[in-house]
Structure 1
Amino acid sequence: MKGKIVNKAFWKDKRVLVTGGAGFLGKRLIPKLKRLDANILVPRSKKFDLRKEEDVDKLFKTFLPDIVIHMAVDGGGINYMKDHAGSIYYNNIMVNTLTLEKSRQYNVKKFVGIGTICSYPKFTPSPFKEEDLWNGYPEETNAPYGLAKKMMFVQTQAYREEYNFNGIHLLLVNLYGEHDDFDPEFSHVIPALIKKCVDTIREDRDEIVVWGTGKATREFLYAGDAAEGILLAAERYDKSDPVNIGAGFEISIKDLVDLIVELTGFQGEIIWDTSKPDGQPRRMLNTSKAEKEFGFKAKTNFKEGLKKMIEWYLNNESKK
């Protein structure tokens, strides 16, 4: 099945509030919305603290959105998740709860909640199906983040049941691409590995250290494809069940390291620090529902996407 195309007529002049729109995914979503002639507001945290009800109320009262795409999040790589479990849970649960409640109070026509693969149970059979979501506890490091996101899904379903509120919940895999966060404290595995390889080459060192055994598998979706999936779901999907948004493949961390080493030209030694955690053993989504319900299918070849990301890093971040 060929992927559907976003309908410009749907978005023209719609008032679209995009929380987290200044972040990595937002940098791919906002230009698409601009090309669709939507009226967009991206709230900045200096002006609107989404953990505070008075700020969220002021935001909605000022803009009166038709559609809310809720992407604001406190999260990061495995180390950040481990060190900030409490604040991650609090920040996400507050922001999600208030944004959804104000969407209801101000009669938003469509709420698109961006969830995460981290909400799935630790030992979910791969590929993960949406009906597996409640079959166990998430991987421990990701649990505070994943469960806060899962509560947003519960709230969305409850609001549909009681208030007939049109909210949907999308479960995204880890994203990658240009404009990703390469800060070692916050970065996920791909930007962390690219930075290690490029910086090690530039500093004329001969080894990189990688966490874990390399056996864990992950799925990665190009951020531009994710933005397309979100827009298609906002247009075409109006059901209470969650939907996976992914690329439909998995790669071991070892194979990922080998690929990034090849693409960056790193020729030194790879040291595996097996005292560090692997995280969830396997991660890959079954993406058939997204294709069936609203015609989303990822387009970007993984190796080509990585090449673009590495080129962007070489031309931007690595010179800082």
Structure 2
Amino acid sequence: MLMKTILLTGGSGFVGKNILESFLSEKYIIDAPSSRELNVADDKSVAQYFASHHPDVVIHAAVKPGHRNAPDFNNLFFTNTRMFFNLERYSDQYEKMLVIGSGAIYDNRNYRPKVKEEDWKNNIPVDEHGFCKYVCEKVIENSRNIYDLRVFGIFGKYEDYAIRFISNAICKSLFDLPITIKQDRNFDYLYVNDLMPVLDWFISENPLYRSYNVTPDKSVSLYDLALMVREISGAPDLPILLAQKGLGLEYSGDNRRLRSEYTKLAFTPIEESIKQLYNWYFFHKNELNKKFLLIDK
């Protein structure tokens, strides 16, 4: 039986790197062209790619970031929607496309605990990132073979430790720096390793819906995560600083739609996943830049 071929966009990013280092790279033939080889935002570049390549599946993980550490906020909406539609227009040439989506589609002004997939229609996101996901979903929900995998908090090796909370807390503990929290919130934090069997299931099966919340069963607060990091690091007296009192809006999704179809869905216990990530950073400490941890963005 021939191995399926996969076009992976964003192969040099956080999620993309983890995909390439996972068991998926042994089970499938993954082509992860650089941005020079394939500019997904350029229609001619994408046309040339599909003229000479015929992937069975597309995993769209490329994104122009809009987070607080992004180097360039210009043309955020234009670039991200352009990338999606440049790939969507060739949907008749591949079996399916898996879009690494986001809980931002539910509008950051109106988050509520364990939001359901259909609730994306309730509000139009005010931020560009969420609005981009909203616009693309208008096409995805009526597509034949495109699936939106909505992740909320996702963490693991290769993420931006300057701003991503779990990695930031771990790295600060390695340098004996206080763990800082702007405001405590409950999050659905998905360990990036747990995304890989989910992607494998979507590649091989025929899901009933076009959108799925890919989230763990239970949410966890930032403060509890900080306590876990402090315990795992062996520094029980490391300060945890809260800048703002109270609890912010919870960022979590209902995963029952996915669980009803993917019965083997499993998640690494949060304490174990943090321990694994801590150990990874411990052995890569010499690659960390301490100055990125001294200023909270």
Please classify the TM superposition score into its range, dividing by the shorter chain length.
Answer: 0.7 to 0.9
- 1:177-217 Cα distance to aligned partner (Å, 9 max, x none): 233332x2xx4211122222222x2xxxxx52624232x11
Tell me which residue corresponds to 1:274: 244
The secondary structure found in structure 1 opposite 2:112 is coil
Checking the alignment, whether the CA contact within 8 Å between 1:15 and 1:65 is kept in structure 2 is yes
Q: Deviation of residue 13 (structure 1)?
A: 1.9
The secondary structure found in structure 1 opposite 2:121 is coil
Give yes or no for the alignment of 1:230 onto 2:182: no
Tell me which residue corresponds to 2:291: none
1-side partners of 2:256 and 2:44: how far apart?
40
- 2:46 paired residue among 38, 56, 65: 56
Q: How does 1:148-227 map to 2 (within 5 A)?
A: 148-158=132-142, 160=143, 165-182=144-161, 184=162, 187-199=163-175, 201=176, 208=178, 210-214=180-184, 216-227=185-196
Q: Deviation of residue 295 (structure 1)?
A: 2.8
Checking the alignment, whether the CA contact within 8 Å between 1:217 and 1:251 is kept in structure 2 is yes
1-side partners of 2:78 and 2:230: how far apart?
37
Tell me which residue corresponds to 2:37: 47
- 1:97 paired residue among 76, 85, 92: 85
Tell me which residue corresponds to 1:316: 284
Checking the alignment, whether the CA contact within 8 Å between 1:237 and 1:294 is kept in structure 2 is no
The secondary structure found in structure 1 opposite 2:178 is strand
Give yes or no for the alignment of 1:144 onto 2:133: no
Q: Deviation of residue 86 (structure 1)?
A: 4.4
- Residue 97 of structure 2 aligns with an amino acid whose one-letter code is F
Checking the alignment, whether the CA contact within 8 Å between 2:207 and 2:261 is kept in structure 1 is no
- Sort the Cα spacing of 1:234 and 1:295 in 2 relative to 1 into closer, same or farther, 3 A: farther
Q: Deviation of residue 76 (structure 1)?
A: 6.2
1-side partners of 2:181 and 2:5: how far apart?
44
1-side partners of 2:106 and 2:15: how far apart?
21
- 1:111-158 Cα distance to aligned partner (Å, 9 max, x none): 1122111111333431111121121244x5xx2112212322222234
- The count of corresponding residues between Structure 1 and Structure 2 is 285
Give yes or no for the alignment of 1:16 onto 2:2: no
Tell me which residue corresponds to 2:294: none
Q: Deviation of residue 91 (structure 1)?
A: 2.5
- Residue 120 of structure 1 aligns with an amino acid whose one-letter code is Y
Give yes or no for the alignment of 1:295 onto 2:259: no
- 1:80 paired residue among 55, 69, 77: 69
Q: Deviation of residue 251 (structure 1)?
A: 1.1
Tell me which residue corresponds to 1:115: 101
Moved more, 266-275 or 300-309: 266-275
Q: Deviation of residue 240 (structure 1)?
A: 4.2
Identity over aligned pairs, percent: 21
2-side partners of 1:88 and 1:168: how far apart?
22
- Sort the Cα spacing of 1:71 and 1:317 in 2 relative to 1 into closer, same or farther, 3 A: farther
- Residue 146 of structure 2 aligns with an amino acid whose one-letter code is G
2-side partners of 1:304 and 1:109: how far apart?
36
Give yes or no for the alignment of 1:67 onto 2:47: no
Structure with a larger share of its residues in helix: 1
* TM-score (normalised: structure 2): 0.86
- Sort the Cα spacing of 1:213 and 1:34 in 2 relative to 1 into closer, same or farther, 3 A: closer
Runs of 4+ in 1 over 4 A off after TM superposition: 83-86
- 1:246-295 Cα distance to aligned partner (Å, 9 max, x none): 111111111112221222234333332239x98x6101221111111233
Checking the alignment, whether the CA contact within 8 Å between 1:167 and 1:240 is kept in structure 2 is no
- Residue 157 of structure 1 aligns with an amino acid whose one-letter code is E
- Residue 173 of structure 1 aligns with an amino acid whose one-letter code is F
The secondary structure found in structure 1 opposite 2:23 is helix
Checking the alignment, whether the CA contact within 8 Å between 1:196 and 1:208 is kept in structure 2 is yes
- Structure 1 gaps, min length 5: 1-8, 202-206
Checking the alignment, whether the CA contact within 8 Å between 2:173 and 2:238 is kept in structure 1 is no
RMSD: 2.5
1-side partners of 2:49 and 2:152: how far apart?
29
